[in-house]
Amino acid sequence: MTEPVRLSKRMSELGLCSRREADEWIARGWVRVDGKVVSELGSKVLPHQRVTVERQAAAEQARRVTVLLHKPIGYVSGQAEDGYQPAVVLITPDRRWTEDKTSTQFHPSQLRSLVPAGRLDIDSNGLLVLTQDGRIAKQLIGEDSGIEKEYLVRVKYTKPGRLPEADLKLLNHGLSLDGKKLRPAKVRWQNEDQLSFILKEGKKRQIRRMCEAVGLKVLGLKRIRIGRVTLGNLPQGQWRYLGPDESF
């Protein structure tokens, strides 16, 4: 017999919204199960039951923005810490890239619930995604996310000679962090002191720790791509909106 699941969890599984959004919509009476409004938080449904949302929910979701920021070194991705400012303070009208082609107008309400979908260390720069849309957050940082993230990493080998081929293979697959095997990565030399890393996960300080394990010191780290969305020519410290024709 199929077990009932929480309505908010089922809505997230169906890709309608995030669980947090689902709870908001349920409380507002914007969710129907088999045509009947369900407004009680914690309600459960069976997988075969039909879940639909009212037009107001879709309209509110359409107003939610996703921002692409070229985060400079010295800003933290999320909450302020140790006297360092969060990257969201850079999302101001005067820092919007003049070449942003979207027609979206900036409004202070867009800063409400604008959260980073993934981290980028304080001493790294490059592409950081901030979003109000729970579906995008789930896509980028959900447990089953397989979206590629690409980095350019400037390194210095701390042992005599060059990095052995066997250690480059280890970076691609075979290393463990915190007692868990890492997913396969794609790591190759770009030039004599720069590596390209393509990962499908994002453990804390993962690239730095991977490099350390094979005797490489990271001198600079820049994220240039998340899925199909690239940093491109976006200047450091500036941002733009994710376009309607773009997806990760």
Cβ-contact 120, 75 below 8 angstroms: no
- pLDDT for res 188: 97
Question: 188 and 79 in one domain?
Answer: no
Which CATH number do you get for residue 207?
3.30.2350.10
| Nearest CA-CA partner of 22 in 35, 38, 34 | 38
- pLDDT for res 1: 56
pLDDT digits over 11-70, tens only?
A: 988 888 878 889 989 999 999 999 999 999 999 999 899 999 999 888 877 788 999 999
- pLDDT for res 19: 83
Q: Which of 23, 34, 121, 144 is catalytic?
A: 121
Question: 233 and 116 in one domain?
Answer: yes
Which CATH number do you get for residue 30?
3.10.290.10
pTM: 0.81
Which CATH number do you get for residue 70?
3.30.70.580
Distances (CA, A) of 113 to 39, 82, 108, 186: 23, 22, 11, 34
- Catalytic status, residue 121: yes
Structural domain that includes position 163: 149-226
Alpha-carbon gap, residue 86 to 74, rounded angstroms: 9
pLDDT digits over 216-227, tens only?
A: 999 999 999 999
